[in-house]
Amino acid sequence: MAFSLRKSKYVIYNNLKTRMGLFGITKNRSCWTSSPTHHHSTPIAAPFVQTFRNTCASFRNTGTLFSARRFESIKAGKQVLDFPGGMVAFTSEMSFISESPKERAHCYRVLDDNGQPIIHQNIVNEEVSITMYAHMVTLQIMDTIFYEAQRQGRISFYLTTNGEEAINIASAAALTIDDLIFPQYREPGVLLWRGFTLQEFANQCFGNKADYGKGRQMPIHYGSNKHNYFTISSTIATQLPHAVGAAYSLKMEKKDACVVTYFGDGGSSEGDFHAALNFAAVMEVPVIFICRNNGWAISTPTSDQFRSDGVVVKGKAYGVRSIRVDGNDALAIYNAVHAAREMAISEHRPILIEALAYRVGHHSTSDDSTKYRPANEIEFWRTSRDPVTRFRKWIESNGWWSGEAESELRSSVRKELLHAIQFAEKVEKPSISNIFTDVYDIPPLNLCEQEISLRETIKRYPEDYPPNVPV
Amino acid sequence: MWGIIRQKVGSGGLPVPISGKSLQSIRPAVSAMRSYSSAAKEMTVRDALNSALDEEMSADPKVFLMGEEVGEYQGAYKISKGLLEKYGPERVLDTPITEAGFAGIGVGAAYYGLKPVVEFMTFNFSMQAIDHIINSAAKSNYMSAGQISVPIVFRGPNGAAAGVGAQHSQCFAPWYGSCPGLKVLVPYSSEDARGLLKAAIRDPDPVVFLENELLYGESFPVSAEALDSSFCLPIGKAKIEREGKDVTITAYSKMVGYALKAAEILAKEGISAEVINLRSIRPLDKSTINASVRKTNRLVTVEEGFPQHGVGAEICTCVIEESFGYLDAPVERIAGADVPMPYAANLERMAVPQVEDIVRAAKRTCYRSVPMAAAA
């Protein structure tokens, strides 16, 4: 016991000696009455050890080692200390910050459930409003018809945006074409707004020759450079750090543009979410993180996804300015994204927007959500909380829309879509050379050899090869 | 070459003249450049990598370096020494500790036109970022049908060092080498390091650049040509380090040095070994390997990594596929032990190939000693 205490005293003393040397002064010099060269055969007295420990503790608490000044200051009776990272006020009242707030973060909305503005304010003009509404309707119909096409076996997969039309269209409307989009997969509306045609959507779903993706990916994995919409990849939340990297690139270019990236409530659990928000704040880049909190990640409800007050409070943890908006209110989203864009570009900061909504449809055509949630809940949100209907009420109350315009729009969109599908179905599939291109910038030798070998095999055994696929 | 001295930092930044202090930090490369006409200069792999990074960053303002400790600390292994001072914090980024984060951010920056060089403190830590390397970097050009190219370089030390244990010693050449869309390079000498890193940074495809910690301090002679700032080695070509006619020994990274030592020992016993420095795991230079085996009729593959599904397995198979008739003996694979790397020095030594193992394997292919199976 004596021996080990003596040894530890040497270790501690030597450590402290180095630190003291750097400080020069120490308040607690009085405790250093015994010299280190004394060999104590008797156990060190307990009170002495006590002082030791206190000394150690207070030295450790006094911040960085390499400053000789005294950094305890007394401000207005409160003790404040300069820890690495900044000044922190002390308190003698021990209290834990609660895991849940007394009141949840408020949700910004402009229109009430009946589509009437809650407070009088300058909102979007007629032209933009009608364009937004038309796109929301188009998105809705596109979802319905492609979903049916999958059920009929004409495409292999589809996923709908039901209930999130406002998030898609209104956010896109508040941006410019120069802003880069890094989507998750439930944002085809943003691409639709930017001018992607129904035919182009259909081509991708059918994976035909005209598909910009050259038949490489599953349906709904759209991507288009000319629309500044980065190709969808199935992995969750990987687009978040990508968005930050691209924003860094934009910042270095000093462009009047920002990056906007979307993800769901489930995506906020991924490690990439943490890294992206943390990094974006540290690097001070112009990026807007839009979380579509629609209550469900396939069958996982948000109560099983996180225990925080949604996603908006996480922004504060990373030093990111954030807001919660009503995801079914197109005007609220428009305003929030517009303001966020201004801040992101002029102040070089990331912004987090949490849009609360409900995923009315199933996760995808591979899912039947009635298995894990009540059908009447789905029905409630589909009817009473429909964002499209709510917006329609607003434009109708302004006299900008009518029942005839509605039915005319719906029938013409439907017709155009059915035609696009029929056409896309008939277009040839991509040729087999597309198996080997784009793996690298220039196809390497082994792939060239493999293509030659494949063509020879097809020529030799044509009966094993489908006749309607071009070679 | 003195064009390096003045360049803009980022876009629209102020020109940054080199101060005497930063000149000092790149002095080895500079003084080497001055003596074009004299005999080959020696350069450590560390300086070779540093000079390659320096020259590429100077030539192209889109190139930037990112990783843990690359800036203020001058690089965990001092590879990026002097670069922060010279190019500023916009082009040499010290990142928070999140491999997944900064790999993803690098990929995103590459998506939108920059050319990041992402440093992993060791490729063992790249495991935390492997999703971004494979799913975001390697596959993006293909999945987007050419719309998104990813001109990124992931570099860092790979394989065993000395006494760093299981989680710091794995060789990742086989894992990354199996993924289409990536290019995987494995330099050995300083010339390799310079030429391949410059080629990697200029390449429009994502490149995984596997260095070796123990080679950083080793000096190699570099030719005058290699010191020129436009020097570049072709990706996908192996180098025949030593010509021979009796047995082909393929190796990469640190094992090239071991193979060369083994060749010396074998030469004394009358066996002329041809040592191939692979330089590139993907694309693998199958034609050089096969041409060599067709000449020598015997093959020994050497690697430090685990034996199952290793680089040697791929080489052996492609030789059997293309040159089976030319083989006079079964192919031999030398690899690390099939265990996580132990720490104790004696155990570690047993877990990695040694020169004697290579010599014995070569002799077995020459029927100078009893085959291992028969001895069992």
Q: Average pLDDT in the B325-343 region?
A: 95
Q: Are strands B299-302 and B332-334 parallel, antiparallel or unpaired?
A: parallel
Number of residues that make up chain B: 376
Distance from C-alpha of B123 to C-alpha of B101, rounded to nearest angstrom: 15
Q: How confident is the model at residue A76 (pLDDT cuts 50, 70, 90)?
A: low
Q: How confident is the model at residue A85 (pLDDT cuts 50, 70, 90)?
A: confident
The answer, for A233 touching chain B at a CB cutoff of 8 Å, is yes
ipTM for this prediction: 0.81
> Is A441 in Cβ contact with B12 (below 8 Å)?
no
The answer to whether residue A51 scores a pLDDT higher than 90 is no
> Is A282 in Cβ contact with B105 (below 8 Å)?
no
Beta-strand ranges (E) seen in B303-350 are 332-334
Distance from C-alpha of A97 to C-alpha of A316, rounded to nearest angstrom: 14
Q: Please list every residue in chain B whose beta carbon sits closer than 8 Å to the beta carbon of residue A225.
A: 147-148
> Is A212 in Cβ contact with B136 (below 8 Å)?
no
The answer to whether residue A37 scores a pLDDT higher than 90 is no
Q: Please list every residue in chain A whose beta carbon sits closer than 8 Å to the beta carbon of residue B135.
A: 233, 235, 238
Q: Please list every residue in chain A whose beta carbon sits closer than 8 Å to the beta carbon of residue B199.
A: none
Q: Which residue has the tokens 């035909």?
A: A208
Beta bridge partners of B117: B65, B153
Q: Average pLDDT in the B114-138 region?
A: 96
Q: Average pLDDT in the A355-384 region?
A: 96
Residues within 8 A of B (CB atoms), A 178-217 only = 180, 182, 211-214, 216-217
Q: Would you state the pLDDT for residue A469?
A: 78
Q: Would you state the pLDDT for residue B154?
A: 98
**How far is A429 from chain B, CA to nearest CA, in Å?**
14
- Residue-wise pLDDT for B338-354, tens only, equals 999 999 999 999 999 99
Chain A residue nearest residue B182, CA to CA: A440
**How far is B361 from chain A, CA to nearest CA, in Å?**
30
Q: Would you state the pLDDT for residue A213?
A: 92
The answer, for A85 touching chain B at a CB cutoff of 8 Å, is no
Q: Please list every residue in chain A whose beta carbon sits closer than 8 Å to the beta carbon of residue B140.
A: 231, 233
Which of B96, B113, B135 is closest, CB to CB, to A235?
A: B135
**What is chain B's alpha carbon radius of gyration, rounded to the nearest angstrom?**
21
Which of A271, A276, A438 is closest, CB to CB, to B145?
A: A438
Percent of chain B with pLDDT over 90: 86
Nearest to A236 by CA among A203, A261, A208: A261
Q: Average pLDDT in the A170-184 region?
A: 97
The answer to whether residue B248 scores a pLDDT higher than 50 is yes
Both tokens of residue B58? 């100077």
Which of B131, B204, B283 is closest, CB to CB, to A235?
A: B131
Four-residue CA torsion sign, A118, A120, A122, A127? positive
Name residue A136's amino acid.
M
Question: Is A234 a catalytic site residue?
Answer: yes
- Residue-wise pLDDT for B15-64, tens only, equals 444 444 444 444 444 444 444 455 569 999 999 999 999 999 999 999 99
The answer to whether residue A152 scores a pLDDT higher than 60 is yes
Q: Are strands B247-251 and B219-222 parallel, antiparallel or unpaired?
A: unpaired
Residues 6+ apart with CB under 8 A from B298: B246, B247, B248, B327, B328, B329, B362, B365, B366
- Residue-wise pLDDT for B147-186, tens only, equals 999 999 999 999 999 999 999 999 999 999 999 999 999 9
Chain A residue nearest residue B93, CA to CA: A283
> Is A282 in Cβ contact with B131 (below 8 Å)?
no
Q: How confident is the model at residue A73 (pLDDT cuts 50, 70, 90)?
A: low
Q: Please list every residue in chain A whose beta carbon sits closer than 8 Å to the beta carbon of residue B116.
A: 245
Both tokens of residue A325? 């908006």
Residues within 8 A of B (CB atoms), A 326-365 only = none
Which of B93, B135, B144 is closest, CB to CB, to A231?
A: B144
The answer, for A219 touching chain B at a CB cutoff of 8 Å, is no
Cα-flanking dihedrals φ and ψ of residue B283, to 5°?
Answer: -70, 140
**How far is A434 from chain B, CA to nearest CA, in Å?**
9
Both tokens of residue A150? 């999958």
> Is B141 in Cβ contact with A252 (below 8 Å)?
no
Residues 6+ apart with CB under 8 A from B105: A241, A242, A244, A245, A248, A275, A276, A279, B66, B95
Q: Which long-range contacts (CB under 8 A, 24 or more apart) does B319-327 make?
A: B319/B289, B319/B290, B319/B293, B322/B286, B322/B290, B323/B290, B323/B293, B323/B294, B326/B293, B326/B294, B326/B297, B327/B293, B327/B297, B327/B298, B327/B299
Cα-flanking dihedrals φ and ψ of residue A171, to 5°?
Answer: -65, -40
Q: Please list every residue in chain A whose beta carbon sits closer than 8 Å to the beta carbon of residue B145.
A: 211-214, 216, 223, 434, 438
Distance from C-alpha of B271 to C-alpha of B363, rounded to nearest angstrom: 8
Both tokens of residue B249? 């020994």
Residues 6+ apart with CB under 8 A from A374: none
> Is A441 in Cβ contact with B183 (below 8 Å)?
no
Cα-flanking dihedrals φ and ψ of residue A248, to 5°?
Answer: -60, -45
Q: Please list every residue in chain B whose beta carbon sits closer than 8 Å to the beta carbon of residue A238.
A: 104, 131-132, 135-136
> Is B140 in Cβ contact with A245 (below 8 Å)?
no
> Is A249 in Cβ contact with B11 (below 8 Å)?
no
Q: What is the pTM of this model?
A: 0.83
**How far is A175 from chain B, CA to nearest CA, in Å?**
18
The answer to whether residue A61 scores a pLDDT higher than 50 is no
Q: Would you state the pLDDT for residue A144?
A: 96
Is B224 within 8 Å of A460 (Cβ atoms)? no
Q: Average pLDDT in the B244-268 region?
A: 97
The answer, for A102 touching chain B at a CB cutoff of 8 Å, is no
The answer, for A177 touching chain B at a CB cutoff of 8 Å, is no
Q: Which residue has the tokens 């940054």?
A: B16
Average model confidence (pLDDT) across chain A: 86
The answer, for A286 touching chain B at a CB cutoff of 8 Å, is no
Average model confidence (pLDDT) across chain B: 89
Question: Is A379 a catalytic site residue?
Answer: no
> Is B141 in Cβ contact with A217 (below 8 Å)?
no
Q: Would you state the pLDDT for residue A311?
A: 97
The answer to whether residue B132 scores a pLDDT higher than 60 is yes
Distance from C-alpha of A262 to C-alpha of A288, rounded to nearest angstrom: 9
Is A334 within 8 Å of A170 (Cβ atoms)? yes
> Is B114 in Cβ contact with A274 (below 8 Å)?
no
Q: Would you state the pLDDT for residue A81?
A: 85
> Is A233 in Cβ contact with B108 (below 8 Å)?
no
Q: How confident is the model at residue B3 (pLDDT cuts 50, 70, 90)?
A: very low
Chain A residue nearest residue B106, CA to CA: A245
A18 or A371, which is more confident? A371
Q: Average pLDDT in the B61-85 region?
A: 94
Question: Is A187 a catalytic site residue?
Answer: no
Query: A11-20, A80-89, B145-154: lowest mean pLDDT where?
Result: A11-20
End-to-end CA distance of chain B: 61
> Is A272 in Cβ contact with B180 (below 8 Å)?
no
Distance from C-alpha of B18 to C-alpha of B15, rounded to nearest angstrom: 10
Nearest to B107 by CA among B144, B57, B79, B73: B144
**How far is A258 from chain B, CA to nearest CA, in Å?**
12
Nearest to A268 by CA among A383, A393, A151, A354: A354
**How far is A238 from chain B, CA to nearest CA, in Å?**
7
Beta-strand ranges (E) seen in A125-178 are none
Q: Please list every residue in chain A whose beta carbon sits closer than 8 Å to the beta carbon of residue B114.
A: 245, 248-249, 252
Q: How confident is the model at residue A121 (pLDDT cuts 50, 70, 90)?
A: confident
Distance from C-alpha of A269 to C-alpha of A184, rounded to nearest angstrom: 14
The answer to whether residue A314 scores a pLDDT higher than 60 is yes
Q: Average pLDDT in the A174-203 region?
A: 97
Helix (H) / strand (E) containing A147: helix A126-151
Residues within 8 A of B (CB atoms), A 393-422 only = none
Q: Catalytic residues of B, which ones? A: 99, 168
The answer to whether residue A470 scores a pLDDT higher than 90 is no
> Is A245 in Cβ contact with B204 (below 8 Å)?
no
Chain A residue nearest residue B284, CA to CA: A446
A81 or A401, which is more confident? A401
Helix (H) / strand (E) containing A354: strand A351-356
The answer to whether residue A23 scores a pLDDT higher than 70 is no
Name residue A413's amino acid.
V
Which of B109, B136, B143 is closest, CB to CB, to A238?
A: B136
Q: What is the DSSP letter of A183?
A: -
Q: Average pLDDT in the A295-310 region?
A: 95
Four-residue CA torsion sign, B284, B288, B294, B296? negative
**How far is A32 from chain B, CA to nearest CA, in Å?**
36
Query: A112-121, A365-374, B33-42, B305-314: lowest mean pLDDT where?
Result: B33-42
